[in-house]
């Protein structure tokens, strides 16, 4: 069995991994795992990854979680172009520097609108207006920082060329966009960066990757979003409780 990627394209790190593998022509078997159907907590998936986390990579007996680790593994194994994860120590350190900040300030923040607007109501839970407002403020602060510090004088978040950090960053930002928050409006530098990344990836690949998330409001209106089974509730409620 060759390379297998367990993904749910509703998830932003999963989309980053998918874009990376596709753009680099890495052959893989897509194993869709639907988080909203609780498939990540199923017996079947537990045998692949007992951490129940997506994305997950399986390469023979080797199983790996965490999007960054997966992309770095793929870049080494398939010798992808150097710009994705540069050999040069300072250039590589810039990628890791961005990823460190991303873990603290982007990850966990930009996913909140999907939870507060769609997923929490699906379980009959209401996220307080106070928390929603706080999240808006956090996103605004992070976007300011992203523009000034990371995109100040650079074409991409970690340097003059596209790296795996750009994929992780942009897919996070697409999450609120799908929920109707135009984060790029009034932020020309951020919008120009998005256009550069998307030009590089190609419109078709972007569309294919984001189809499900970008139609989430439509799916909600048509009531075609699966109602999560009871076994998925615990982890979902925990995620909702963690919204600061």
* Shortest Å, Cβ 51 to other proteins: 6
Does residue 94 interact with other proteins by CB under 8 A?
yes
Taking every pair of Cα atoms in the chain, the longest distance, rounded to a whole number of angstroms, is 50
Does residue 66 interact with other proteins by CB under 8 A?
yes
Spatial separation of the C-alpha atoms in residues 75 and 165, rounded to whole Å = 13
Segment interacting with other proteins, rule: CB under 8 A, options 18-26, 85-93, 167-175, 185-193: 85-93
For residue 62, list its beta bridge partners: 59
Does residue 46 interact with other proteins by CB under 8 A?
no
> Considering beta carbons, is residue 197 or 243 the nearer one to other proteins?
243
DSSP tag of 65: E
> Considering beta carbons, is residue 87 or 185 the nearer one to other proteins?
87
Cβ within 8 Å of residue 121, ≥6 positions away: none
- Cα torsion through 162, 168, 169, 171, rounded to 10: 110
Q: Which run of H or E residues covers position 173? A: helix 164-178
Phi-psi region at 161: left, alpha or beta (left = phi > 0; alpha = psi -120 to 50): beta
Among residues 31, 134, 181, 233, the one that binds other proteins under rule CB under 8 A: 134
Contact, 199 vs 166, CB < 8 A?
no
> Considering beta carbons, is residue 27 or 244 the nearer one to other proteins?
244
Does residue 147 interact with other proteins by CB under 8 A?
no
* Shortest Å, Cβ 193 to other proteins: 17
Binding mask 205-244 for other proteins (x = CB under 8 A): ------------------------------------x--x
Among residues 97, 147, 198, 220, the one that binds other proteins under rule CB under 8 A: 97
Strands ordered across the beta sheet of 29-32: 29-32, 3-7, 56-59, 62-65
Site residues, other proteins (CB under 8 A): 50-51, 64-66, 68-69, 89-90, 92-101, 103, 107-108, 134, 145, 148-149, 241, 244
């Amino acid at each position: 069995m060759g390379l297998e990627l367990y993904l749910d394209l509703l998830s932003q790190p999963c989309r980053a991994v998918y874009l990376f593998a596709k753009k680099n022509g890495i052959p893989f078997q897509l194993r869709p795992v639907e988080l909203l159907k609780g498939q990540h907590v199923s017996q079947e998936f537990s045998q692949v990854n007992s951490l129940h986390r997506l994305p997950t990579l399986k390469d023979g007996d080797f199983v790996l979680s965490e999007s960054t680790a997966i992309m770095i593994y793929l870049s080494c194994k398939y010798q992808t172009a150097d710009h994705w994860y540069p050999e040069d120590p300072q250039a590589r350190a810039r990628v890791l520097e961005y990823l460190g900040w991303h873990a603290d300030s982007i990850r966990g923040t930009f996913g909140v609108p999907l939870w507060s607007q769609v997923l929490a109501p699906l379980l009959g839970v209401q996220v307080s207006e106070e928390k929603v407002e706080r999240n808006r403020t956090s996103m605004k602060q992070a976007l300011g920082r992203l523009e000034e510090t990371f995109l100040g004088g650079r074409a991409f978040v970690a340097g003059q060329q596209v790296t795996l950090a750009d994929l992780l960053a942009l897919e996070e930002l697409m999450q609120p966009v799908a929920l109707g928050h135009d984060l790029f409006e009034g932020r020309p530098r951020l919008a120009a960066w998005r256009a550069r990344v998307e030009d590089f990836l190609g419109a078709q690949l972007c569309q294919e990757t984001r189809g499900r998330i970008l139609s989430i409001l439509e799916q909600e209106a048509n009531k075609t979003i699966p109602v999560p089974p009871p076994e998925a509730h615990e982890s979902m409620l925990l995620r909702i409780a963690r919204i600061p």
